[in-house]
Amino acid sequence: MDAGMKIKAAAIDLFARDGYAATSIRDLARAVNMTNAGIYHHVTSKEALLADLMRVGQLGLIDATDRLLAHRPAPADRLAVLIGSLTAIHALNPMTTRVMDGELRSLTPGSSARDEIIALRDRYEDRWRTTLAEGADQGDFRIPDQRLTRLALMAMCTGTSEWYRPDGDASLERVCAEFVAIGLASVRSRVQVSMRLDLSLLPDYPWEPHVDPRVDPAGRHPIR
Amino acid sequence: MDAGMKIKAAAIDLFARDGYAATSIRDLARAVNMTNAGIYHHVTSKEALLADLMRVGQLGLIDATDRLLAHRPAPADRLAVLIGSLTAIHALNPMTTRVMDGELRSLTPGSSARDEIIALRDRYEDRWRTTLAEGADQGDFRIPDQRLTRLALMAMCTGTSEWYRPDGDASLERVCAEFVAIGLASVRSRVQVSMRLDLSLLPDYPWEPHVDPRVDPAGRHPIR
Amino acid sequence: MDAGMKIKAAAIDLFARDGYAATSIRDLARAVNMTNAGIYHHVTSKEALLADLMRVGQLGLIDATDRLLAHRPAPADRLAVLIGSLTAIHALNPMTTRVMDGELRSLTPGSSARDEIIALRDRYEDRWRTTLAEGADQGDFRIPDQRLTRLALMAMCTGTSEWYRPDGDASLERVCAEFVAIGLASVRSRVQVSMRLDLSLLPDYPWEPHVDPRVDPAGRHPIR
Amino acid sequence: MDAGMKIKAAAIDLFARDGYAATSIRDLARAVNMTNAGIYHHVTSKEALLADLMRVGQLGLIDATDRLLAHRPAPADRLAVLIGSLTAIHALNPMTTRVMDGELRSLTPGSSARDEIIALRDRYEDRWRTTLAEGADQGDFRIPDQRLTRLALMAMCTGTSEWYRPDGDASLERVCAEFVAIGLASVRSRVQVSMRLDLSLLPDYPWEPHVDPRVDPAGRHPIR
DNA sequence: CATGAATGAGACTTCATTCAT
DNA sequence: TATGAATGAAGTCTCATTCAT
CA distance C39 to chain D (A): 22
Mean pLDDT, range A8-17, rounded to an integer:
98
Inter-chain CB proximity B170 and A160 less than 8 Å: no
Mean pLDDT, range A185-194, rounded to an integer:
89
CA distance A75 to chain B (A): 20
Nucleic strand F within 7 A of Cβ B45: yes
Question: Please, which residues have CB within 8 angstroms of residue C143's CB and are 6 or more apart in sequence?
Answer: C132, C135, C136, C149, C187, C188
- Does D118 have pLDDT greater than 90? yes
* Topology (CATH) of A53-201: Tetracycline Repressor; domain 2 (1.10.357)
Mean pLDDT, range A39-55, rounded to an integer:
98
Q: Structurally, what CATH architecture does the domain formed by D54-201 represent? A: Orthogonal Bundle (1.10)
The whole-number pLDDT of residue D195 equals: 78
Q: Structurally, what CATH architecture does the domain formed by B50-201 represent? A: Orthogonal Bundle (1.10)
CATH of C47-201, one of 3.20.190.10, 1.20.910.10, 1.10.357.10, 3.40.50.2000: 1.10.357.10
Angle (deg, nearest 10), helices A146-163 and A112-137: 120
Question: Please, which residues have CB within 8 angstroms of residue D128's CB and are 6 or more apart in sequence?
Answer: D82, D150, D153, D154
- Of C93 and B193, the one with more pLDDT: C93
Mean pLDDT, range D106-123, rounded to an integer:
98
Contacts of C174 in chain D (CB under 8 A): 144-145
> What's the sign of the alpha-carbon dihedral B25, B30, B35, B40?
negative
Mean pLDDT, range D204-215, rounded to an integer:
71
Nucleic strand E within 7 A of Cβ B34: yes
- Does B152 have pLDDT greater than 80? yes
Which candidate from C19, C122, C162 shows the least CB-CB separation from D155?
C162
- Does D77 have pLDDT greater than 70? yes
The whole-number pLDDT of residue B171 equals: 87
The whole-number pLDDT of residue A213 equals: 37
Domain boundaries, chain C: 1-43, 47-201
Cα separations in angstroms, A137 against A134, B87, D148 = 5, 29, 101
Give the three-class secondary structure for C142: coil
Q: Is D151 on the interface with C (CB under 8 A)?
A: yes
- Does A16 have pLDDT greater than 50? yes
The whole-number pLDDT of residue C195 equals: 77
The whole-number pLDDT of residue D169 equals: 67
- Does A12 have pLDDT greater than 60? yes
Contacts of D102 in chain C (CB under 8 A): 102
Mean pLDDT, range D143-149, rounded to an integer:
90
Contacts of C18 in chain D (CB under 8 A): 21, 105
- Of A184 and D210, the one with more pLDDT: A184
The whole-number pLDDT of residue C223 equals: 47
Give the pLDDT confidence of C59-95 residue by residue, as tens digits.
999 999 999 999 999 999 999 999 999 999 999 999 9
- Does B107 have pLDDT greater than 60? yes
**Highest-scoring range by mean pLDDT, A143-152, B74-83, B161-170, D196-205:** B74-83
Give the pLDDT band (50/70/90) at residue D218.
very low
Contact C203, C60 (CB under 8 A): yes
The whole-number pLDDT of residue C169 equals: 67
Nearest to A5 by CA among A199, A209, A203: A209
The whole-number pLDDT of residue D124 equals: 98
Chains C and D touch (3+ CB pairs under 8 A): yes
Nearest chain B residue to A153 by CA: give it. Answer: B156
Contact A89, A164 (CB under 8 A): no
CA distance B2 to chain A (A): 30
Give the pLDDT confidence of A92-140 residue by residue, as tens digits.
999 999 999 999 999 999 999 999 999 999 999 999 999 999 999 999 9
The whole-number pLDDT of residue C53 equals: 98
Nearest chain D residue to C144 by CA: give it. Answer: D170
Nucleic strand F within 7 A of Cβ D44: no
Give the three-class secondary structure for D64: helix
If phi over 0 gives left and psi between -120 and 50 gives alpha, with beta otherwise, what is residue D208? beta
| Window 29-58 of B, Cβ < 8 Å to A | none
Inter-chain CB proximity A152 and B170 less than 8 Å: no
- Does B222 have pLDDT greater than 80? no
The whole-number pLDDT of residue B158 equals: 96
Cα separations in angstroms, C119 against C59, C112, C189 = 11, 10, 30
The whole-number pLDDT of residue D217 equals: 39
- Does A218 have pLDDT greater than 70? no
Q: Is B105 on the interface with A (CB under 8 A)?
A: yes
Give the pLDDT confidence of B11-33 residue by residue, as tens digits.
999 999 999 999 999 999 999 99
Strand F, nucleotides < 7 Å from a protein CB: these are 1-20
* Topology (CATH) of C1-43: Arc Repressor Mutant, subunit A (1.10.10)
Q: Is B118 on the interface with A (CB under 8 A)?
A: yes
Cα separations in angstroms, B174 against A186, B102, B166, D75 = 13, 26, 12, 96
Does C47-201 match C1-43 at the fold level? no
Using alpha carbons only, what angle is made at residue D25 by residues D24 and D26, rounded to the nearest 5 degrees?
85
Distance CA D79, CA D213 (A): 27
Q: Where are the alpha helices (DSSP H) in C138-205?
A: 146-163, 172-186
- Does D215 have pLDDT greater than 50? no
Longest dimension (CA), chain D: 60
Nearest to C96 by CA among C16, C10, C211, C22: C16
Provide the Cα torsion B142, B148, B149, B150; round to 10°. 130
CA distance A175 to chain B (A): 8
Inter-chain CB proximity A152 and B160 less than 8 Å: yes
The whole-number pLDDT of residue C214 equals: 41
Residues of chain C with pLDDT under 50: 212-221, 223-224
- Does D224 have pLDDT greater than 90? no
The whole-number pLDDT of residue B167 equals: 81
